[in-house]
Structure 1
Amino acid sequence: MREWRMGAVLHNYQQVLSLIFAVHEINKNPRLLPNVTLGFHIYDNLFDAKSTYETILDLLFSKQMNAINNYDMNKDVLSVIGGFSVEDAYQMATILDQYKIPQLTYGAYDTTLNSKAHFPSLYRMAPSETIQPIGIVQILLHFEWTWIGIIVSDDDDGEGFVQILTPLLTQNSICVALLLKIEKVELAYGGKPTTQMSRIDAALESEVSVFIVSGSYHSLWDLKLRLRVRKFFETVDFRKVWITTARWDFTKEISAFRGFDDTFNGTLYFSVETDPVPGFENFLKNLKLDESVMPFLCLFWQYAFSCSLSRGKFSRCKYDRRCKGKEKLERLPTYMFDMDITSKSYAVYNAVYAIAHALHAIDVSSQMLMMDRGKFKHLNLQPWQVNSLLKNIHFNNGAGQEVLIENGEVSAGYDIINWVLFQNQSFLKLQVGKISASHNFTLRDDIIRWNSKLKQIPPQAKCVESCPLGYRKMDQAGKQACCYDCAPCPEDMISNETDAINCAKCPEEQYPNADKNECIYKVKTFLTYEEPLGIVLIFIALSFAVVTGMVIYTFMKNWNTPIVKANNQNITIILLISILLCFLSCLLFIGKPGKVTCLLRQTAFGIVFSVAVSSVLAKTIIVILAFLATKPGNTMRKWLGQKVANAVVLSCSLIQVGICTAWLSVSPPFPDHDTHSLSRYVIVECNEGSITMFYCVLGYLGFLAIISFTVAFLARKLPDSFNEAKFITFSMLVFCSVWVSFIPGYLSTKGKYIVAVEVFAILASSTGLLACIFFPKCYIIVLRPDLNSRKQLTGKGN
């Protein structure tokens, strides 16, 4: 144990060497403290609270008597750099703060040390503790690690770290699978070691693959010892990722324990932001074991180089080889002594410069510095003067690097170091990221060297498998938010990221694909001239238009025949032309809707059909008037003229024209895109504008049709050899049946098929009028001309 402990603290000697280097550098700088020579005392507390108090008292008081009040205070002590651990910092601050002597700590990260109310003379050369948890959370988010374990020391520092970290984890939906607090080694071995070891074993054997560790070299001793034992007996093969805070000096683990390379290889370590110091490496290379450093370096030198000093009072190690005093630090392996300045050594270096610049400020501003053989006269300079300047000070250190202390705390960030350990106890420190004092975070995961034993690189750290694209997370009752089920997105929604919290709707012009992980643009659809349905409807419309034209030609050719002259020739031609226009109006419904076609579609159809139905009504009225006129003494003969028929057609048609004009004036139809009716298509259609006006047009047509049907039905049995009311009755029955069935078909159909339904209704109703009214007449005109005579028409042919 003594060998391990000594090996673990070899690196601490660099911190004091950085103090010596900084003091020498300042003393050689004529511009900083001219004619002043800084001195220093070095004390070791031996990791013991009692020794800490003794060394502080020895530093402050040059003479101690039996009576506690009989002592002389050392007036040369203007500041103290110390307090590597939180406990040390507290113990020192308890005494130093009484005399307002500034204390600059360089390794204590406990947030309670920020309390200026308790320790107004305490200054931290380590940056804010809150920066590390923020950086840890950023690493977890970067790798999408949401199921992690936390191991901390069971003390105020560990509790403070957990209190800062836990809310940040919760805010970012990261769950803590387990929290392990480890007692210090003294408590563990004096208390319940079996219980603590079993808790450590349970944590190490858990499924958690990412651990956040915060604690000092001594507070986590049981964790390191258990890892060592289990690795030695090879009881478990650890595949863990370790994220450690700056409190755990990782270099000590390499020098204290051999073989930790397998377990901790690839660790991500937060190190206080450090800049290179020119000249420091040369200072270490040229360091010689002379009388000035012999009391301090004797033990270190003997342990590091495995030799014994020849001088008796310094020779405390029994090695066969004698130290020559020419040993070089650069020849030591890195795990024993690092030639690059460490973060804590850099903090000590800056602390010395902070004190020097505070003294320089006093000298410049007040000229209160008086020299007496290289010492400050105690009457002219007091520690509280230095204390007041250190609260907020801004300077450049000896390397020209900017240092800022605000509210008693250095403003700096943390480097993220990736430790790569090798079998020969050498190691490589890769800086893979950084978090600044302003919380700016960067991480280069492409250069991280992971532990080769990990099953997956980078590893997964989740309670459950990620929800794939097209699914969303669904909480499980009674479990943490990180343990969830995956539910598929609804039909009209997608998720294009893993572990989506909610599914999202596609834009109106897009729709989800089959996997519900991507939005696809909807296809624009309308009834085209090229598709089979459009071709069929066009063919039917044109065919019946041609047939209607042939009927018109036939009637015009036989204009003066009795059957054509019966029931008003002009009304007959108007009816045929309106039926022809009805067939041709179907062409307005096919093709891409435009502004003009949308305006003409329904209005042209409504007006033309109104003329047709009005003509049918006029023909029916003429039939009735003609029958009544044949009765002796009846005065209806005078109404048989053209004026009555024209008045009926014109008045009924003008009403529809008025409705259509009002429609176009108030809310006319316009081209529109329907993105809701069909999930995968954008329907290019004519928006009716005012649906009320559209139904008014249809309602008025229905009203005329019902009147025509009723009048024709009542006149169907009038005695005559050619009573046209029978055919009109049947034609209007067909007409009404078509348009009654059109309404539910129109309301239940979507897309281009709505247009097809309306075109079919126009074709069917027009065909009904043409066939029922005119085909019987054409049959007589073309095939039975013998029946087309006045005698046959009046019934006097027999």
Structure 2
Amino acid sequence: FTYKNVHLILSLYFALENINKDPHILPNISLLVKVECSLLDDWRMNSLSTKVGEFLPNYYCINQRRYLIVLTGPIWLSSAMLGPLLYMTNRPELYYGPFHPLLSSREQFPHLYQMAPKDTSLALAMVSLVVYFRWNWVGAIISDDDLGLQFLSELRREMQRNSACLAFVHIVIEDKILFQKNTNIYYNEISTSSAQVVIIYGDKDSHLQLNLRLYRLANLQRIWVTTTQWDMIIYEDRFLLDSFYGTFTFLLHFSELPGFRTFIERASNSKYDHSTSLAKLWWTYFNCSLTSFNSVNLKNFSREKQYHWLFKHRFEMSVSGTGYVLYNTVYAVAHALHEMLLHEIDILPKYSEEKLEIDSWQNIQFINPVGDQVDMNQKENQDLEYDIHYTMNFLPNLGFKVKIGKFSKHLLHGQQLYMSEEMIKWNTDLS
């Protein structure tokens, strides 16, 4: 139960509410959802089979709701774990986490579709930032997996093209013995290197995070350049990437969702699942027992006090990048079902055991409510844009985050990177 989980669940409910109110999509039909937040933990505790049986039964009774589609994320491992089980039940699985090449195998995951676009130009975007600030000596810390190694290959190519040098490259492996063996070697190299800028890329749930925790404990100060999944990670009441020099984060550009902030402010326990309540988030922050929470009279906790506390404790009141992908995922489901209705397909036969079949999810294209094109065909060459944020930490629990630029792949070379001179003028000494 975390801030980010609550934020994603609220993004899900926000999309559902808008769809169910829209007379032009799925008229006279309401979409419903059941949220499960602990499947990965259950798998690690060897009790997944029981859990899956609870929310994905291989049978259904008359007048009993069936789960037609499963949305998984943001951790790719949970989707990979559910893939074989969903294959047996023939249920489509839509993954809303960061794109992962392992999930693209049609043989292993024939019913899984990834909603997030590929980060095909992230290395180019980061190197463009390096060139802009004239950082010619840069380090890199990468996780030892397919994504990390592919990114490293692209990073080396772009660095060479732009006459920038990699001072060191640390590939953090998952083997515990080798990880411990390399820890001192890597620390000595990064602490003695003259490179003050370090690029971080990899799975945040890998040993890479443990490696960065050690650097944090050693108070290693560098300019970090990374992706949004490493943004605002808290470790022992401090930011994991805690640096006086600040952190640059890249995230895929997305549009703000009008009304989302208002939706969060008026979300109440009576209307939505009790497990997503903001009061519960407030209660667990103070390490109080969830058992005792169930007996608490919530009338004693005004929503005004809860929101005042949330503003002070890193709870985002605008949609996140992953939340935006989840929002689009819900709309993709709605559009797919709507198309089936237009073709007069009975998608919920009352006395039938037929599964939900959609000829090709990859053919689904639509314009979402904020005017962005959503295309589930990952083979299409998409014009990716990245927003660039800069975060400066002033106190252990206090930071300042601001958008300072963007990168647009589809523009001409030399015009792809835009940086706001006004936003970075006060920070010129760091270059």
Say whether the fold is shared (TM-score over 0.5): yes
1:19 aligns with 2:12: yes
Q: Report the CA distance between 1:344 and its aligned residue.
A: 0.9
Q: CA separation in 2, counterparts of 1:335 and 1:127?
A: 30
Indicate whether 1:327 and 2:303 are aligned. yes
1:425-574 superposed matches below 5 A? 425-436=397-408, 438=410, 441-444=416-419, 446-449=421-424, 457-459=429-431
| TM-score (structure 2 length as normaliser) | 0.83
Asked if 2 retains the 8 angstrom alpha-carbon contact of 1:308 and 1:323, the reply is no
Task: After TM superposition, give the deviation of residue 142 of structure 1 in Å.
Answer: 2.3
* CA displacement, residues 45-64 of structure 1 (integer Å, 9 cap, x when unaligned): 36434469444443321679
Paired AA for residue 3 in structure 2 = L
2: CA distance between counterparts of 1:307 and 1:287? 22
Give the structure 1 partner of residue 345 of structure 2: 368
Secondary structure of the corresponding residue to residue 181 of structure 1: strand
152-161 or 442-451, which moves further after superposition?
A: 442-451
Distance 1:355 1:191, change over 3 A: same
Q: 1:88 aligns with which of 75, 78, 83?
A: 78
TM-superposed deviation, 1:192: 5.3
Q: Call closer, same or farther: CA 1:161–1:257 in 2, change over 3 Å.
A: farther
Are 2:173 and 2:179, in contact at CA under 8 Å, matched by a contact in 1? no
Choose the corresponding residue for 1:29, options 22, 30, 38: 22
Q: How many angstroms apart in 2 are the aligned matches of 1:450 and 1:221?
A: 32
Partner of 2:68: 78
Map 1:142-181; keep pairs closer than 5 Å.
142-181=132-171
Match of 1:417 in 2: 389
2:328 pairs with 1:350 = yes
1:653-692 Cα deviation digits (max 9, x unpaired): xxxxxxxxxxxxxxxxxxxxxxxxxxxxxxxxxxxxxxxx
Asked if 1:384 corresponds to 2:374, the answer is no
Q: How does 1:366-765 map to 2 (within 5 A)?
A: 366-369=343-346, 377=350, 379=352, 382-385=355-358, 388-407=359-378, 411=382, 412-423=384-395, 425-436=397-408, 438=410, 441-444=416-419, 446-449=421-424, 457-459=429-431
- Write the letter of the residue equivalent to 2:307: E
Are the counterparts in 1 of residues 256 and 319 from structure 2 also a CA contact under 8 Å?
yes
Equivalent residue for 1:290, pick from 261, 270, 288? 270
Q: Give runs of aligned pairs for residues 296-315 of structure 1, distance below 5 A.
A: 296-297=276-277, 299-304=280-285, 314=294
Contact 1:418 1:449 in 2 (8 A): no
Structure label with greater radius of gyration: 1
Deviation per CA, 1:310-358, whole angstroms, max 9, x where unpaired?
Answer: x75836xxx9x97735335532135431101111111111110011011
- 3-state DSSP of counterpart to 1:221: helix
**1:205 maps to amino acid:** T
1:34 deviates by 0.7
Structure 1 position 276, deviation (Å)? 1.0
Q: Quick check: 1:214–1:244 contact (8 Å CA) kept in 2?
A: yes
Q: CA deviation at 1:378?
A: 7.4
- 1:124, 1:409 within 8 Å by CA — same for their partners in 2? no
Which whole-Å CA distance do the structure 2 matches of 1:293 and 1:81 have between them? 17
* Cα contact 2:39–2:78 (8 A) shared by 1: no
Closer/same/farther in 2, CA of residues 92 and 312 from structure 1, 3 Å limit: same
TM score, norm. by length of structure 1: 0.47
Instruction: Quote how far apart the aligned CAs of 1:127 are.
Output: 1.9
- Answer yes or no: is 1:275 the counterpart of 2:255: yes
2:216 maps to which residue? 228
Name which of 228, 231, 234 aligns with 1:246: 228
Contact 1:154/1:181, CA 8 A, preserved across alignment: yes
Can you list the C-alpha shifts for 1:685-720, whole angstroms capped at 9, x where unaligned?
xxxxxxxxxxxxxxxxxxxxxxxxxxxxxxxxxxxx
SS at match of 2:157: helix
- Residue identity over aligned pairs, in percent, reads 26
Q: Which is bigger in relative contact order (C-alpha 8 A, separation at least 6)? A: 2
Distance 1:210-1:288 versus aligned 2 partners, 3 A rule: same
Paired positions, count: 419
Contact 1:124/1:410 (<8 A) preserved: no
| CA–CA separation in structure 1 for the residues paired with 2:199 and 2:393 | 19
Q: Which has the higher helix share?
A: 1
Q: Deviations over 1:398-437 (max 9, x none)?
A: 3343323323789453211112333273433322222346
Q: Which amino acid in the other structure matches residue 19 of structure 2?
A: I
SS at match of 1:285: helix
CA–CA distance in structure 2, aligned partners of residues 338 and 376 of structure 1? 41
Offset of residue 124 of structure 1: 2.2
- Assess if the C-alpha contact under 8 Å between 1:243 and 1:267 holds in 2: yes
Which of 202, 206, 212 matches 2:193? 206
Which has the higher mean CA deviation after the structures are superposed, 415-424 or 206-215? Answer: 415-424
Q: Secondary structure at the match of 2:113?
A: strand
Contact 2:361-2:376 within 8 A present in 1 as well:
yes
1-side partners of 2:362 and 2:133: how far apart?
39
CA distance in 1, matches of 2:312, 2:122: 26
1:277 CA displacement: 0.7
Q: Specify the SS of the correspondent of 1:457.
A: helix
The alpha carbon displacement at 1:448 in A equals 4.7
User: Equivalent of 2:101, from 111, 117, 138?
Assistant: 111
Give the partner amino acid of 2:357.
W
